[in-house]
Protein backbone atom coordinates (compact mmCIF):
# COMPACT_ATOMS: atom_id res chain seq x y z
CA UNK A 1 0.00 0.00 0.00
CA UNK A 2 1.34 3.40 -0.97
CA UNK A 3 1.98 6.32 1.39
CA UNK A 4 -0.75 8.34 -0.32
CA UNK A 5 -3.38 5.67 0.26
CA UNK A 6 -2.34 5.26 3.89
CA UNK A 7 -2.68 8.98 4.45
CA UNK A 8 -6.23 9.07 3.08
CA UNK A 9 -7.24 5.93 4.95
CA UNK A 10 -6.06 7.46 8.24
CA UNK A 11 -8.16 10.54 7.50
CA UNK A 12 -11.35 8.78 6.44
CA UNK A 13 -11.60 5.33 8.03
CA UNK A 14 -11.87 6.50 11.68
CA UNK A 15 -14.58 8.99 10.65
CA UNK A 16 -16.51 6.37 8.66
CA UNK A 17 -16.02 3.82 11.43
CA UNK A 18 -17.41 6.06 14.17
CA UNK A 19 -20.36 7.03 11.96
CA UNK A 20 -21.11 3.39 11.16
CA UNK A 21 -20.78 2.44 14.84
CA UNK A 22 -23.21 5.14 15.93
CA UNK A 23 -25.74 4.04 13.28
CA UNK A 24 -25.54 0.37 14.21
CA UNK A 25 -25.65 1.17 17.92
CA UNK A 26 -28.81 3.21 17.66
CA UNK A 27 -30.49 1.11 14.96
CA UNK A 28 -29.68 -2.45 16.10
CA UNK A 29 -27.60 -2.62 19.27
CA UNK A 30 -29.38 -0.18 21.57
CA UNK A 31 -31.45 -2.93 23.25
CA UNK A 32 -28.26 -4.85 24.02
CA UNK A 33 -25.69 -2.10 24.73
CA UNK A 34 -26.37 0.75 27.08
CA UNK A 35 -25.73 4.38 26.13
CA UNK A 36 -22.81 4.69 28.55
CA UNK A 37 -21.14 1.50 27.31
CA UNK A 38 -21.64 2.60 23.70
CA UNK A 39 -20.04 5.96 24.42
CA UNK A 40 -17.11 4.17 26.04
CA UNK A 41 -16.62 1.71 23.18
CA UNK A 42 -16.68 4.39 20.44
CA UNK A 43 -13.24 5.95 21.21
CA UNK A 44 -11.81 2.47 21.81
CA UNK A 45 -12.79 1.39 18.30
CA UNK A 46 -11.41 4.62 16.81
CA UNK A 47 -8.14 4.18 18.72
CA UNK A 48 -7.68 0.57 17.58
CA UNK A 49 -8.43 1.39 13.93
CA UNK A 50 -6.18 4.45 13.91
CA UNK A 51 -3.34 2.60 15.66
CA UNK A 52 -3.51 -0.21 13.08
CA UNK A 53 -3.31 2.25 10.20
CA UNK A 54 -0.56 4.31 11.84
CA UNK A 55 1.61 1.25 12.35
CA UNK A 56 1.39 0.56 8.63
CA UNK A 57 2.17 4.22 7.89
CA UNK A 58 5.20 4.29 10.21
CA UNK A 59 6.50 1.07 8.67
CA UNK A 60 6.16 2.65 5.23
CA UNK A 61 7.96 5.79 6.37
CA UNK A 62 10.79 3.77 7.91
CA UNK A 63 11.17 1.79 4.70
CA UNK A 64 11.27 5.02 2.68
CA UNK A 65 13.85 6.50 5.04
CA UNK A 66 16.07 3.43 4.75
CA UNK A 67 15.82 3.57 0.96
CA UNK A 68 16.79 7.25 0.92
CA UNK A 69 19.71 6.56 3.24
CA UNK A 70 21.01 3.79 0.98
CA UNK A 71 20.66 6.07 -2.04
CA UNK A 72 22.60 8.83 -0.26
CA UNK A 73 25.39 6.40 0.63
CA UNK A 74 25.60 5.14 -2.96
CA UNK A 75 25.55 8.70 -4.32
CA UNK A 76 28.30 9.79 -1.92
CA UNK A 77 30.43 6.80 -2.92
CA UNK A 78 29.94 7.55 -6.63
CA UNK A 79 30.82 11.23 -6.12
CA UNK A 80 33.95 10.23 -4.18
CA UNK A 81 34.99 7.84 -6.94
CA UNK A 82 34.40 10.52 -9.57
CA UNK A 83 36.45 13.04 -7.61
CA UNK A 84 39.29 10.53 -7.15
CA UNK A 85 39.21 9.72 -10.86
CA UNK A 86 39.52 13.42 -11.72
CA UNK A 87 42.42 13.85 -9.33
CA UNK A 88 44.21 10.77 -10.65
CA UNK A 89 43.76 11.98 -14.24
CA UNK A 90 44.83 15.49 -13.31
CA UNK A 91 48.06 14.62 -11.58
CA UNK A 92 49.19 11.03 -11.67
CA UNK A 93 48.17 9.86 -15.14
CA UNK A 94 49.55 13.00 -16.80
CA UNK A 95 52.83 12.70 -14.89
CA UNK A 96 53.19 9.00 -15.76
CA UNK A 97 52.63 9.82 -19.42
CA UNK A 98 55.38 12.44 -19.21
CA UNK A 99 57.64 9.86 -17.55
CA UNK A 100 57.08 7.50 -20.48
CA UNK A 101 57.96 10.26 -22.94
CA UNK A 102 61.12 11.22 -21.05
CA UNK A 103 62.25 7.61 -20.73
CA UNK A 104 61.99 7.29 -24.51
CA UNK A 105 64.00 10.49 -24.80
CA UNK A 106 66.61 9.09 -22.38
CA UNK A 107 67.05 6.01 -24.56
CA UNK A 108 67.71 8.26 -27.56
CA UNK A 109 70.14 10.54 -25.73
CA UNK A 110 73.24 11.12 -27.86
CA UNK A 111 75.52 12.50 -25.14
CA UNK A 112 76.09 12.24 -21.41
CA UNK A 113 74.88 15.81 -20.87
CA UNK A 114 71.61 15.10 -22.67
CA UNK A 115 71.15 11.93 -20.62
CA UNK A 116 71.86 13.79 -17.39
CA UNK A 117 69.39 16.55 -18.29
CA UNK A 118 66.68 14.01 -19.10
CA UNK A 119 67.44 12.11 -15.89
CA UNK A 120 66.97 15.31 -13.87
CA UNK A 121 63.65 15.89 -15.59
CA UNK A 122 62.55 12.34 -14.80
CA UNK A 123 63.55 12.79 -11.16
CA UNK A 124 61.51 16.01 -10.99
CA UNK A 125 58.49 14.29 -12.54
CA UNK A 126 58.76 11.43 -10.05
CA UNK A 127 58.67 13.97 -7.22
CA UNK A 128 55.52 15.47 -8.75
CA UNK A 129 53.95 12.01 -8.94
CA UNK A 130 54.79 11.49 -5.28
CA UNK A 131 53.23 14.83 -4.36
CA UNK A 132 50.09 14.03 -6.36
CA UNK A 133 49.71 10.60 -4.75
CA UNK A 134 50.23 12.10 -1.30
CA UNK A 135 47.67 14.82 -2.04
CA UNK A 136 45.11 12.31 -3.34
CA UNK A 137 45.48 10.25 -0.17
CA UNK A 138 45.14 13.41 1.93
CA UNK A 139 41.99 14.34 0.05
CA UNK A 140 40.46 10.95 0.77
CA UNK A 141 41.24 11.27 4.47
CA UNK A 142 40.58 14.96 4.98
CA UNK A 143 37.80 15.90 2.57
CA UNK A 144 35.09 15.65 5.25
CA UNK A 145 35.67 17.88 8.23
CA UNK A 146 36.38 15.69 11.27
CA UNK A 147 33.62 15.87 13.84
CA UNK A 148 36.07 16.89 16.56
CA UNK A 149 37.85 19.54 14.47
CA UNK A 150 36.57 23.10 14.07
CA UNK A 151 36.69 25.03 10.81
CA UNK A 152 39.67 27.13 11.90
CA UNK A 153 41.50 24.01 13.06
CA UNK A 154 40.92 22.46 9.64
CA UNK A 155 42.41 25.52 7.91
CA UNK A 156 45.33 25.51 10.36
CA UNK A 157 45.92 21.81 9.66
CA UNK A 158 45.95 22.56 5.93
CA UNK A 159 48.43 25.45 6.25
CA UNK A 160 50.75 23.48 8.55
CA UNK A 161 50.80 20.63 6.04
CA UNK A 162 51.60 23.15 3.29
CA UNK A 163 54.51 24.65 5.21
CA UNK A 164 55.91 21.25 6.14
CA UNK A 165 55.84 19.86 2.59
CA UNK A 166 56.91 22.97 0.66
CA UNK A 167 58.44 25.43 3.13
CA UNK A 168 56.14 28.18 1.86
CA UNK A 169 55.05 30.52 4.66
CA UNK A 170 51.26 30.52 4.87
CA UNK A 171 49.24 33.21 6.68
CA UNK A 172 45.51 33.06 7.47
CA UNK A 173 43.39 36.20 7.86
CA UNK A 174 39.92 34.75 8.41
CA UNK A 175 37.07 37.05 9.44
CA UNK A 176 34.04 35.00 8.39
CA UNK A 177 31.58 34.19 11.17
CA UNK A 178 31.60 30.49 11.95
CA UNK A 179 27.84 30.12 11.47
CA UNK A 180 27.82 31.78 8.05
CA UNK A 181 28.93 28.66 6.16
CA UNK A 182 27.09 25.36 6.25
CA UNK A 183 28.95 22.08 6.75
CA UNK A 184 28.80 21.22 3.04
CA UNK A 185 30.07 24.69 2.10
CA UNK A 186 33.02 24.29 4.48
CA UNK A 187 33.88 20.90 2.99
CA UNK A 188 33.80 22.21 -0.58
CA UNK A 189 35.65 25.43 0.25
CA UNK A 190 38.36 23.50 2.05
CA UNK A 191 38.78 21.23 -0.99
CA UNK A 192 39.17 24.28 -3.26
CA UNK A 193 41.72 25.78 -0.85
CA UNK A 194 43.68 22.52 -0.82
CA UNK A 195 43.78 22.35 -4.62
CA UNK A 196 44.81 26.02 -4.86
CA UNK A 197 47.65 25.51 -2.37
CA UNK A 198 48.77 22.41 -4.24
CA UNK A 199 48.92 24.39 -7.49
CA UNK A 200 51.01 27.08 -5.78
CA UNK A 201 53.35 24.43 -4.43
CA UNK A 202 53.83 22.77 -7.82
CA UNK A 203 53.93 25.75 -10.18
CA UNK A 204 54.21 29.18 -8.55
CA UNK A 205 57.69 29.09 -6.96
CA UNK A 206 56.20 31.26 -4.23
CA UNK A 207 57.66 32.17 -0.85
CA UNK A 208 54.47 33.30 0.84
CA UNK A 209 50.72 32.58 0.68
CA UNK A 210 47.93 34.58 2.29
CA UNK A 211 44.48 33.05 2.82
CA UNK A 212 41.83 35.70 3.46
CA UNK A 213 38.15 35.42 4.29
CA UNK A 214 35.47 37.98 5.04
CA UNK A 215 31.71 38.22 5.29
CA UNK A 216 29.89 40.63 3.01
CA UNK A 217 26.84 42.28 4.57
CA UNK A 218 23.36 42.48 3.07
CA UNK A 219 21.01 45.46 3.19
CA UNK A 220 20.33 44.89 6.88
CA UNK A 221 24.07 44.73 7.61
CA UNK A 222 23.91 41.02 8.32
CA UNK A 223 26.58 39.04 6.42
CA UNK A 224 24.96 36.63 3.99
CA UNK A 225 27.78 36.40 1.45
CA UNK A 226 31.42 35.42 1.90
CA UNK A 227 34.60 36.15 0.00
CA UNK A 228 37.66 33.91 0.17
CA UNK A 229 40.98 34.54 -1.57
CA UNK A 230 44.26 32.61 -1.81
CA UNK A 231 47.04 35.01 -2.78
CA UNK A 232 50.66 34.04 -3.47
CA UNK A 233 53.78 36.00 -4.44
CA UNK A 234 54.99 33.52 -7.05
CA UNK A 235 55.80 33.90 -10.71
CA UNK A 236 52.15 33.77 -11.73
CA UNK A 237 50.75 32.03 -14.76
CA UNK A 238 49.19 33.17 -17.99
CA UNK A 239 45.51 32.45 -18.56
CA UNK A 240 46.31 30.12 -21.46
CA UNK A 241 48.51 28.00 -19.18
CA UNK A 242 45.88 27.85 -16.46
CA UNK A 243 43.06 26.77 -18.76
CA UNK A 244 44.99 25.02 -21.50
CA UNK A 245 44.57 21.44 -22.64
CA UNK A 246 45.63 18.95 -19.98
CA UNK A 247 45.27 21.49 -17.16
CA UNK A 248 42.65 20.13 -14.78
CA UNK A 249 43.47 21.73 -11.40
CA UNK A 250 41.74 25.05 -12.05
CA UNK A 251 38.92 23.28 -13.90
CA UNK A 252 38.25 21.06 -10.89
CA UNK A 253 38.12 24.08 -8.57
CA UNK A 254 35.75 25.90 -10.91
CA UNK A 255 33.49 22.85 -11.14
CA UNK A 256 33.32 22.61 -7.35
CA UNK A 257 32.55 26.32 -7.05
CA UNK A 258 29.92 26.22 -9.80
CA UNK A 259 28.22 23.23 -8.17
CA UNK A 260 27.82 25.33 -5.00
CA UNK A 261 26.58 28.38 -6.92
CA UNK A 262 29.78 30.32 -6.22
CA UNK A 263 31.85 32.56 -8.48
CA UNK A 264 35.55 31.72 -8.76
CA UNK A 265 38.22 33.73 -10.59
CA UNK A 266 41.96 33.21 -11.07
CA UNK A 267 44.03 36.23 -12.04
CA UNK A 268 47.57 37.55 -11.91
CA UNK A 269 48.41 40.28 -9.41
CA UNK A 270 50.85 43.15 -9.50
CA UNK A 271 53.81 43.23 -9.28
CA UNK A 272 53.74 39.42 -9.23
CA UNK A 273 51.74 36.50 -7.98
CA UNK A 274 48.33 34.91 -8.49
CA UNK A 275 45.03 35.33 -6.67
CA UNK A 276 42.26 32.76 -6.49
CA UNK A 277 38.99 34.40 -5.37
CA UNK A 278 35.75 32.65 -4.40
CA UNK A 279 32.55 34.62 -3.72
CA UNK A 280 29.33 32.90 -2.67
CA UNK A 281 26.15 33.15 -0.66
CA UNK A 282 25.56 31.39 2.62
CA UNK A 283 23.11 28.51 2.76
CA UNK A 284 23.55 27.89 6.49
CA UNK A 285 20.28 27.36 8.33
Give per-residue pLDDT as tens, 196-247.
988 888 788 899 999 999 988 755 455 689 999 999 999 876 666 565 554 5
Helix (H) or strand (E) holding 275: strand 274-281
Q: Beta partners for 214? A: 175, 227
Of 105 and 98, the one with more pLDDT: 105
82-96 residues labelled b (16+ CB within 10 A) or e (exposed): ebeeebeebbbebbe
pLDDT above 80: residue 278: yes
The mean per-residue pLDDT over the stretch 144-151 comes to 54
Q: What is the mean pLDDT of residues 267-277?
A: 89
What is the average pLDDT across 28-47? 78
Q: What percentage of the chain exceeds 90 in pLDDT? A: 15
**What integer pLDDT is reported at residue 229 of this predicted model?**
95
pTM tops 0.85, yes or no:
no
58 has pLDDT over 70 = yes
**What is the rounded distance in angstroms from the CA atom of residue 34 to the CA atom of residue 201?**
89
Give the per-residue pLDDT at 216: 83
Q: By the 8 A CB rule, do 166 and 139 touch?
A: no
Give the C-alpha separation, 41 to 47, whole Å: 10
Span of 64-68, 95-99, 137-141, 145-149 with lowest mean pLDDT: 145-149
Higher local confidence (pLDDT), 19 or 277: 277
Please give the pLDDT value at position 146: 47
Distance in angstroms between the alpha carbons of the first and the last residue of the chain: 35
Angle CA(151)–CA(156)–CA(161) in degrees, nearest 5?
130
What integer pLDDT is reported at residue 91 of this predicted model?
Answer: 58
* Separation between Cα atoms, residue 220 and residue 200, nearest integer Å: 38
Question: Is the per-residue pLDDT at 114 higher than 60?
Answer: yes
DSSP 236: -
Q: Is the pLDDT higher at 226 or at 50?
A: 226
Give the pLDDT mean for 72-82: 73
pLDDT at 73 over 60: yes
- Note the pLDDT of residue 124: 78
Amino acid sequence: MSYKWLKWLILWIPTVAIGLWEYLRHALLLPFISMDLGNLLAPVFVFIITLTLLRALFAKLEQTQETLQRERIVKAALEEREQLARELHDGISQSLFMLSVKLDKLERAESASDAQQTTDQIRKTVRHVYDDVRQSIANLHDAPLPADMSWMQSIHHLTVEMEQTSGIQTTVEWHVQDGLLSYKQKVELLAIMREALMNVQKHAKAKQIVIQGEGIGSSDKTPNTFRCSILDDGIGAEKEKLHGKGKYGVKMMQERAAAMGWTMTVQQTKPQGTEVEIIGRSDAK
